[in-house]
Chain A
Amino acid sequence: MEYFVQQLANGLTLGSIYGLIAIGYTMVYGIIGMINFAHGDIFMLGAFAALIVFLILTSFFAGIPVALALLVMLIAAMLMTSLWNWTIERVAYRPLRGSFRLAPLITAIGMSIVLSNFIQVTQGPRNKPIPSLVTDVYHFGNITISLKQIIIVAVTAVLLTVFWYIVNKTPLGRAQRATEQDRKMAALLGVDVDRTISITFIMGAALAAVAGTMYLMYYGVATFNDGFIPGVKAFTAAVLGGIGSLPGAVLGGLLIGLIESLWSAYFTIAYKDVATFALLAFVLIFKPTGILGRPEVEKV
């Protein structure tokens, strides 16, 4: 039982990170119906931004409080990935908006290759380890929960609330939902569609940066190809939760995290990725709308 609870805690932590990335997938898919394949690499860029800022901070201000350092890393990473995703959308995706359906997906795959290889070329192919930032752990009986895990879950919860508020209660969120439902009609009614889509990309990127920073803090290491596997898993999470649905993305992320850590704990760790990918296939085949998604009506 204690072992199970321990795995539950680990799974929730992992799941929060997947959930944060999944929100980016789900929002972009919701608004322009495109799988932003490069989103996983945006997450990786966020982790690298946090890593570089961390190195700069520690060399200039040796005794900086950890909380402040984390905050600076987080903000820098969010700014960085926002700028990247904004530029990518402007340069690579926007010209293809009227093109055939596969064009944006293929461009996004190309962008994913470009981003990971760009980091490989500029920062080198090796693992980048940093010293552990947060080392506190709490014991509850035999269960060990680290402060890192608490931070990750708390940050996810706060951000989800903030984003849920933005999408559901603000004019910006209304514009987003309108664009999602009918782009042409939204434009006719005075919604600046291009701007709304840009902001959606920026929001997704900012959340991916948070996930990247958390990932760096949790594992203490970043590599240029870190984007691919978490990216696919986050996409699985988005699909599992119902693509287009914000709470669905987080729910899916948590489920994927739980499945992964429980699978590793009770079956073989070697096949944990196979379990996730198989789950993705099963969900898409048997329930493509996911848990909280709306059914897609086939139109002639």
Chain B
Amino acid sequence: MAQSSDNNSLMAQAAKEALVAAAVSFGLFILYVGIETYQDINNALVWRTRWGLLAVFVVIAAVSRFLVVGFIKPHLDKRKRDKAKAGIPEVSDGKNFFQRNFLKIALIGLLIYPPLSVMLAGTQGSLKYVDNFGIQILIYVMLAWGLNIVVGLAGLLDLGYVAFYAVGAYSYALLSQQFGLSFWVLLPLSGILAAFWGVILGFPVLRLRGDYLAIVTLAFGEIIRLVLINWTAVTKGTFGISGIPKASFFGIWSFDVGAANNFTKAWGLSMSSAYYKIFLFYLILALCMLTAYVTIKLRRMPIGRAWEALREDEIACRSLGINTVTTKLTAFAIGAMIGGFAGAFFATRQGFVSPESFVFLESAVILAIVVLGGMGSLTGIAIAAIVMVGGTELLREMEFLKHVFGPDFTPELYRMLLFGLAMIVVMVFKPRGFVGSREPTAFLKERKAVAGSFTKEGHG
């Protein structure tokens, strides 16, 4: 009997909270959802009501609150209690084959991805899969891994990372057009220039920590973008730079249509841009692998250890004689260099750069990927990039949603909305990201996985 009365009071509470949620969401959405403003034929702003949509919002809020309070939360509490009763949480030593060889399988999968998509979708059809999904995701993986060095390893929150991406992209765009240098000369040069900017911007902010550092880097990112917009003599402002040369196959084959050593002609293939995209896919894959290799190696070197020590406790770090100035600057420089590589690649892939590609939102997206993946964890970040970027790319493909919500429905509009929501939801429920633990690089006797909650950023 006690059980059922317990249940009844739980349901009553859930119903009460659902009503509150309904009232609050009614208040929240009445103006913004319940009323639509639009311009009529005279270009004057007028309004009309959308009570139906408002009702949908309110009902969703009430029902989900009811479910959370009435069913999900008791269930979670019960599981937590059971876990606590069971004592030490299960440590799974017995990994299955897939878990043990995850990285190898993933790498092989990536290597055979372009030929596979050509086989399945045809030469032209593979464009979408290789370019929109493959290259797009890998660019973000690379950027996020680059930012991971700054944020995840050294614990310096950088909200202006996109500035280095922009420096790399504009370095390639301008130098290749002005001096006719090839991609393979400019790729390292773009990285070096970005690293140089990383040091320049890093130097003044050495004393700052945590939130203040974040805001200053945001300001620097915005300054670089505003200069790109306003310095029209060099950057052509908002029009951007178009006609950026394509990368060549190490100078042996060109991908320009008119060139004598055109790749498709040399191999007797039918004309298609798909080959260039496949080449770019392997190029960015190689760049990503380079980034991962550098990160893994650096973590085992004194500088990597110094970064992680700096992240854990700056004061302790200083008192142990670690030079925090060079430690921070190298983190900024290496992170920026990787951003610069990615930028040069981005410029050659798009053939067009404009300040529009380097807005603050882009920095936020990259940071979100790093955080959602679990700071410091390369695998987690890669998974987060696939989920977030691939997921939002997938939204574009969802034609069937048009049949559900009517022909005016454009899924792309919801891209950033969902992205922001994902950031909030993951932070609230899983603040350590998808992969919340990481393998330590330094250990006594045996290697134990460290729970993410032991690692902190910046503030000791």
> Which A residues contact B (CB, under 8 angstroms)?
34-35, 45, 48-49, 51-53, 55-56, 59, 76, 80, 83-84, 87, 91-92, 95-96, 99-103, 105-107, 109-114, 117-124, 126, 128-130, 228, 232, 235-236, 239, 268, 270-271, 273-274, 277-278, 280-281, 284-285, 288, 298, 300
Contact = CB atoms under 8 A, between A and B. Distances in A.
Contacts of A51: 37, 45
B271 to A, nearest CB: 38
Contacts of A49: 31-32
A110 B216 contact: no
B420 A110 contact: yes
13 contacts: A52-B37, A52-B47, A53-B31, A56-B35, A101-B458, A113-B420, A123-B32, A232-B218, A271-B226, A284-B216, A285-B204, A300-B316, A300-B460
B417 A96 contact: no
Given A96-B427, A100-B456, A48 B315 contact: no
Given A109-B364, A119-B32, A281 B424 contact: no
Chain A binding surface, main DSSP class: helix
A285 B420 CA distance: 30
In the complex, the 6 A-B pairs of residues with the closest C-beta atoms, listed nearest first:
A110-B423, A113-B420, A114-B420, A277-B219, A117-B417, A270-B230
A27 to B, nearest CB: 15
B319 to A, nearest CB: 9
B215 interface: yes
Contact of B216 (A100, A105, A107, A280): A280
B369 to A, nearest CB: 11
Contacts of A106: 367-368, 371, 423, 427
B47 A59 contact: yes
Contacts of B204: 281, 285
Contacts of B460: 300
Contacts, number: 177
B420 A102 contact: no
Nearest to A221: B45
B417 A118 contact: yes
Contacts of A35: 211, 214-215
A28 to B, nearest CB: 12
A83 B28 contact: yes
A256 to B, nearest CB: 13
A284 B420 contact: no
Given A49-B31, A117-B416, 18 more contacts: A45-B32, A52-B47, A83-B27, A101-B210, A101-B456, A105-B211, A106-B423, A109-B364, A110-B368, A114-B421, A114-B424, A117-B414, A274-B226, A274-B227, A285-B207, A285-B208, A288-B207, A298-B315
Given A55-B46, A109-B364, A117-B420, A101 B32 contact: no
Nearest to B423: A110
Contacts of A101: 210-211, 456-459
Contacts of B24: 83, 87
B222 A232 contact: yes
Nearest to A121: B413
B223 to A, nearest CB: 5
Contact of A113 (B46, B316, B416): B416
Contacts of B35: 52, 55-56
B233 to A, nearest CB: 12
A26 B124 CA distance: 55
B133 interface: no
A109 B416 CA distance: 12
Nearest to B237: A270
B361 interface: yes
B457 A111 contact: no
A118 B415 CA distance: 11
Contact of A228 (B37, B360, B456): B360
Given A83-B27, A101-B457, A128-B37, A285 B205 contact: yes
Interface residues of B, number: 61
Contacts of B431: 96, 99-100, 103
Given A80-B31, A84-B28, A128-B37, A107 B47 contact: no
Contacts of A45: 32
B439 interface: no
Contact of B223 (A96, A105, A274, A284): A274
Given A83-B24, A280-B219, A288 B208 contact: yes
Contacts of A111: 420, 424
B419 interface: yes
B399 interface: no
A236 B422 CA distance: 28
Contacts of A110: 368, 419-424, 427
**Could you say which of B33, B159, B215, B417 has the most chain A C-beta atoms within 10 Å of its C-beta?**
B215
B361 A113 contact: yes
Contacts of A52: 31-32, 35, 37, 47
Interface in B264-295: none
B37 A123 contact: yes
B219 A122 contact: no
A52 B223 CA distance: 34
A14 B47 CA distance: 29
Interface in B341-394: 360-361, 364, 367-368, 371
B297 to A, nearest CB: 26
B12 to A, nearest CB: 21
A83 B28 CA distance: 7
B215 A284 contact: yes
Nearest to B422: A110
Contacts of A109: 159, 364, 367-368, 423
Nearest to A277: B219
Nearest to A131: B44
A232 B31 contact: no
Interface in B413-460: 413-414, 416-417, 419-424, 427-428, 431, 456-460
Contacts of B226: 271, 273-274, 277
B157 interface: yes
Contacts of A96: 427-428, 431
A34 B216 CA distance: 15
Contacts of B27: 80, 83
